[in-house]
Chains A and B, each alone.
Chain A
Amino acid sequence: MDTAPIIAVTDLRFAYGDIVAIDGVSLEIPPGRIGLVGANGAGKTTLLKILLGVLPAASGRVEVLGHRVATEQLEVRSRVGWMPESACLPPDQTAADFLGYAAELGGLPVRAARQRASDVLGLVGLHEERFRYIREFSTGMKQRTKLAQAIVHDPSLVLLDEPTAGLDPEGREEMLDLVTRLQDFGINAVISSHVLTDIERTCDWVIMLDGGKVLRSSPLTDLSTTDEVELEVIGDIEAVANRARAMGATVEVLGTVLHLRAPDGDAFEISRDAVADSDVSLRRLGARRTTLEDVFMGEEPA
């Protein structure tokens, strides 16, 4: 499997007038599904537009799929798809016509473009509606058409900007399923979202942006796996905590839940012994998993 970075950014800066949107960002992003998270105004969409060459970097170097964006913009664009957050669909065309056109714009021959338009519309669940005008589509159908136009020319990388925006829970689930499947198609994806659970669900690498700076860029597993043990007991939790402290553990008590870390021993063994010595019932014991939200809310700029 090719593990060369699909995106390499070095000391990237960009500003809208006096407002700095991207401030000295350096990144190397591996193939796969990449989550780009951050609050509104963190610089997510700006970064995606720079990757696509829509916005020019004020300084720094940006490479996408091995091509420099500044000098090989068209090579980048022929292998990249883009699903913008805002509307991008012509209401006066049918989905099949527009998808065929979008595929031709990606450089595909006419016949292949039509075939792919039909295939991709089937893939996103719009095969039955392919000859309807886009103006007649619901929000969910439009979101799926937007995703379809982003992948119809078989790109190597697709940039998805808030793909679940405006969707009801069921539509959101379907969209996330589709996004998750992109890797099976050999399509790498950068998914920008401020909905952290969407990123947790779909991505295997996460980039956190805040104020135009990268807070973190790492595999999602590094974030969710900790060396802490979480246990929940029925009984005197303070007794368990004190016993664990006496055995050299660092302990944090949150109601009936206890987070335990053992710098010099096995946290599971200390938990077992502390519970056994304290005459309490164990309700739950396991490695503590943090959510993306825990990490994001507690993260300081690098």
Chain B
Amino acid sequence: MTEGVVFDLGWRPHDGPRFGRSGARRALYKDGLRRVLGLRRRARSKVLPFTLMAIALLPALFFVAFGVIAGEFDPAATLFGHSEYFDLTGALVLIFTALACSELLIPDRVHGTLAVYASRPLTTGDYVAMRTASLATVVFGFLWLPHLVLFLGRAWVNGFASYLGDNWEVLWETALGSAVYFAAYAPLGFVVAAFSRRTSLAAGVYLGVITISSAAARGLLEAGFDFIGLFAFQHHPGYVKDWIMDSSTHRWIPADAGFDASVSLLMIIVVAVLSGVVVLARQRRAA
């Protein structure tokens, strides 16, 4: 039985502009955004990302609403400030990153779509860079948007000009903190995804590695192996964030092991670079 009718509509060659590599990279970036958020896909693809983002944003919206109704914005009444807010969003973004990294790399490889990229003006480096940029955009928004909402809410209640003048540094500090969380969490997520064939399994393995590494590091640290503090991957971004925001919200394992926050930052950068090399090599083989 025939499955469709071939209509002879003629052929119109494309005689308009061609954007070449830059257009291809832009398309790849937009596709990454859609893939991470489940847009233009079945409804169930949207459930987890949007639920996690809603959970991250809701406390900020609640505090702002409470402040507006009360007519004042007492930082003590918000339960926690900007630095502590990362404790909530940091945990959520770990789950989000686990899912998103898998979603960005695995389907293209498993379904053979890398062959389509191979016939377009793109390099493997472009592919990895644009996938990373897509995730960075969403994760940064995920982490920073609640801070922006809190900031604007407080500015609204307390007087915009004076609040902005006294607290403007919060904006770049929280932005920098958000970027650190992304740099700490995403590279390992990409490494796990680059070697997996199932998205759910990759997300589970990634979450296991991150959380177990911290628990194991805590145990080994107490047994006297101080250098193991460098492998508490879940604790590096929080430690660096506290350093940036001049706060102290937790007992961070690298700190207990005697390492400065700058060492944690260095560790994040080293892991990110190594992960980038591994993912690039793996994607080149897969292509």
Judged by a CB distance under 8 angstroms, whether A89 is at the interface is: yes
CA distance A225 to B260 in the complex (A): 82
CA distance A107 to B22 in the complex (A): 8
| Beyond A108-B19, A124-B6, 8 extra complex contacts between A and B, CB < 8 Å | A54-B287, A92-B41, A107-B20, A109-B23, A123-B11, A126-B4, A159-B119, A185-B11
Does B119 lie within 8 Å of A129, measured CB to CB?
A: no
A-B contact pairs, 27 of them (CB 8 A): A74-B121, A82-B115, A82-B119, A87-B112, A89-B111, A90-B108, A90-B113, A92-B41, A92-B42, A92-B107, A93-B40, A93-B41, A94-B40, A101-B31, A104-B23, A104-B27, A105-B117, A106-B120, A108-B23, A109-B16, A122-B9, A123-B11, A127-B4, A138-B3, A141-B4, A144-B4, A178-B6
Given the known inter-chain contacts A52-B118, A105-B116, please indicate yes or no for A112 contacting B14, CB distance below 8 A.
yes
- For A118, the closest partner residue in chain B by CB is B9
**B18 touches which one: A101, A107, A184 (CB < 8 A)?**
A107
**B119 touches which one: A133, A150, A174, A185 (CB < 8 A)?**
A150
Judged by a CB distance under 8 angstroms, whether A80 is at the interface is: yes
Judged by a CB distance under 8 angstroms, whether A154 is at the interface is: yes
> Chain A: residues with CB nearer than 8 A to chain B?
52, 54, 73-75, 77-78, 80-82, 84, 86-94, 97, 101-102, 104-109, 112, 116, 119, 122-129, 133, 138, 140-141, 144, 149-150, 153-154, 159, 170-171, 174, 177-178, 184-186
Q: How large is the interface on B (under 10, 10 to 19, 20 to 34, 35 or more residues)?
A: 35 or more
**B3 touches which one: A54, A112, A141, A149 (CB < 8 A)?**
A141
- For B22, the closest partner residue in chain A by CB is A107
Does A105 lie within 8 Å of B111, measured CB to CB?
A: no
> Chain B: residues with CB nearer than 8 A to chain A?
1-7, 9, 11-14, 16-21, 23-24, 26-28, 30-31, 40-42, 45, 107-108, 111-113, 115-123, 287
Given the known inter-chain contacts A107-B18, A107-B121, please indicate yes or no for A170 contacting B115, CB distance below 8 A.
no
- Decide if the interface of chain B is mainly helix, strand, loop or mixed: loop
- Kindly name the residue among A93, A133, A149 whose own CB sees the greatest number of chain B CB atoms within 10 A: A93
Does B11 lie within 8 Å of A184, measured CB to CB?
A: yes
Does A129 lie within 8 Å of B4, measured CB to CB?
A: yes
- For A138, the closest partner residue in chain B by CB is B3
CA distance A94 to B42 in the complex (A): 10
Chain A residues near B40: list those with CB within 8 A.
Answer: 93-94, 97
Chain A residues near B3: list those with CB within 8 A.
Answer: 125, 138, 140-141, 171
Does A154 lie within 8 Å of B2, measured CB to CB?
A: no
- For B12, the closest partner residue in chain A by CB is A119
CA distance A170 to B11 in the complex (A): 23
- For B13, the closest partner residue in chain A by CB is A154
Does A106 lie within 8 Å of B24, measured CB to CB?
A: yes
Does B5 lie within 8 Å of A153, measured CB to CB?
A: no
Does B4 lie within 8 Å of A105, measured CB to CB?
A: no
CA distance A102 to B28 in the complex (A): 10
- For A173, the closest partner residue in chain B by CB is B2
**B7 touches which one: A107, A127, A129, A153 (CB < 8 A)?**
A127
**B122 touches which one: A92, A105, A124, A126 (CB < 8 A)?**
A105
Chain B residues near A102: list those with CB within 8 A.
Answer: 116, 120
Does A88 lie within 8 Å of B9, measured CB to CB?
A: no
- For A139, the closest partner residue in chain B by CB is B3
Chain A residues near B287: list those with CB within 8 A.
Answer: 54
CA distance A86 to B5 in the complex (A): 24
CA distance A153 to B121 in the complex (A): 11
